[in-house]
Amino acid sequence: MVSKWQRTQSVGETQFTAVSDYTRRIWGDEQTFLNKHGRAPSLNVGSGACPVKCDVNIDPLLPSDVKAVGESLPLKDEVFGTVAVFSVLDHVLDDGQVLREAHRVLKRNGLFILMQSVLGLRGKIWLLRHRDMNHMRHYLWDWQLRRKLRRAGFVVNQWKIKWYNHDRVVYAVCSKQLLFGCE
Ligand SMILES: C[S@@+](CC[C@H](N)C(=O)[O-])C[C@H]1O[C@@H](n2cnc3c(N)ncnc32)[C@H](O)[C@@H]1O
């Protein structure tokens, strides 16, 4: 049986093969963010067709260095200076688990860089009127995403909103919340 996850990926990918100016702008901004905040070694989870590459690139479906899902990274704890998750959380089965895995493989002083669309008013209205077959979920409000990050153990250092046509996108830079007195 084809799961909801498989169905959303196949629809999403056929549409994603046509690279538009819109996509190129987003990739350019992802690269700028990574250049500014990235620390080696870097990991890109759900790297997909994106030309923005890290030292290790992981994707379950498209060509990459490692074929794996973000919910279960075949990597050791605390090895990466940067973990990037660009436009992936709305495509995965369990977004909270992907964030927890990103947190696990990030070094104590590492940075987590997230790019994620959080719907603006037009997006919310569109969603009321259409059945979306391309995504597992949508984020309607910033606080939903911030709460997920906090629950996965991240502290948000920077929260930047960018608009691409009518689409509202969040770029977040987060560090690991360190728990003292537990070891
Ligand atoms: C919209 S594309 C984004 C690709 C790229 N990060 C970018 O910025 O262009 C979503 C990607 O998430 C990947 N993906 C889907 N489910 C995933 C999962 N459970 N874990 C990791 N990646 C996943 C897909 O294969 C696809 O490459």
- The response to whether residue 103 sits with its C-beta less than 6 Å from ligand 1 reads no
H or E stretch covering 116: strand 106-117
What's the rounded mean pLDDT across residues 67-75? 98
Residue 128 inside a domain? The answer is yes
How many angstroms does the Cα of residue 110 sit away from the middle of ligand 1?
A: 22
From 91, 132, 164, give the residue whose CB has the most ligand 1 atoms within 8 Å, as the site to mutate: 91
| Predicted TM-score of the model (pTM) | 0.93
Residue 137 CB neighbour total at 10 angstroms: 14
Ligand 1 neighbourhood includes 71 CB (under 6 angstroms):
yes
- Element spanning 156, H or E: strand 154-164
In a domain, 181, yes or no: no
**Ligand 1 centroid, distance to 180 Cα (angstroms):** 34
Is the residue at 47 inside a domain? yes
What's the rounded mean pLDDT across residues 153-167?
95
Domain region containing 122: 4-176
Domain-located, residue 182: no
Q: Residue 38: exposed, middle, or buried by beta-carbon count in 10 A (0-12, 13-18, 19+)? A: buried
Predicted confidence (pLDDT) per residue in 108-133, tens digit: 999 999 999 999 999 999 999 998 88
Q: What are 74-115's pLDDT values in tens digits?
A: 999 999 999 999 999 999 999 999 999 999 999 999 999 999
Is the model more confident about 18 or about 105? 105
pLDDT, position 179: 64
Instruction: Identify the CATH number of the domain in which residue 94 sits.
Output: 3.40.50.150
Q: Structural domain tally of the chain?
A: 1
Q: How far apart are the first and last CA of the chain?
A: 45
Cβ count within 10 A of residue 100: 17
Instruction: Work out the pLDDT band at 9, boundaries 50, 70, 90.
Output: confident
Binding site membership of 50 for ligand 1 (Cβ less than 6 Å): yes
- Domain contains 25: yes
Q: Are 11 and 133 in contact (CB under 8 A)?
A: yes
Alpha-carbon Rg for the chain, nearest whole angstrom, is 16
In a domain, 183, yes or no: no
